Amino acid sequence: MDAQPLAGPSGSQAGADLQNTRPDDRAVPDCLVDGYQDLLPSLALPDENDRHVLAAAIVSAADAIVTFNLRDFPKPVLDKYHLDLIHPDDFIFQQFGIDNAVVLVSVQRCRARLRNLPEALPNTSIRWRGKACRKRLAICALILE
C-alpha cells in the first residue's frame, strides 16, 4: 500500500479541501504515514474524524501530536500510546534553543506568506489571555520584526 497524506477521513470534503491546499510533500521528508488505516476501528476519540491522526502518530512512533484541536485528544487516550499533545504555539517555543536562526527564518517565511495582516494585534480574532497571550505576543513580535 502506498503512503497517503493525512488530509482527513477518506472521501470527506474537509479532507479534499486540505489535500488541495497542502504544501509540496518534498518540503518535509518522511511526512507521509502508511499502515495506520487498520487501527482506525480500535481507536476512540471525541471526534471520530480525528482517529486517523492518532493512528498515524501510533504507527509512526511519534512523540507528540501538534494541533490547535486540543479538546478532541484526551490525555488518558494519548497516555496509552505515550503521546504528548502540543499546541502549535508551544511547539514553536520548544524549537527555540535548538536552532534559533532556523526558527526565526521559518517564522519570517510564514509571516511573508500571510495576507491581510491585522493592523493592530488587539483587533485580531486570537484570544489574548494569560500564558497563551504572552506566547502569542512574543511570536507576533518575532514575525512583525
Which pLDDT value is given to residue 138? 64
pLDDT band for position 141 (50/70/90)?
A: low
Which pLDDT value is given to residue 47? 95
DSSP letter string, the chain: ---B---SSTT-HHHHHHHHHPPPGGGSTT--B-S-GGGGGG---SSGGGHHHHHHHHHTT-SEEE-S-GGGS-HHHHHHTT-EEE-HHHHHHHHTTT-HHHHHHHHHHHHHH--S--SSGGGSSS---HHHHHHHHHHHHHHH-
Residue indicated by cell numbers 504515514: 33
Residues 69, 86: Cα–Cα separation, whole Å:
10
The tens digit of pLDDT for each residue in 14-69 reads 445 445 545 556 666 777 888 999 999 999 999 999 999 999 999 999 999 999 89
Q: Residue 8 pLDDT more than 50?
A: no
pLDDT band for position 80 (50/70/90)?
A: very high
Which pLDDT value is given to residue 36? 93
The tens digit of pLDDT for each residue in 84-119 reads 999 887 887 788 778 878 877 777 776 676 665 555
pTM of the entire predicted model = 0.62
What separation in angstroms does the CA of 56 have from each of 4, 15, 134? 10, 15, 32
What cell was used for 52? 486517523
Domain boundaries defined on the chain: 13-86, 90-144
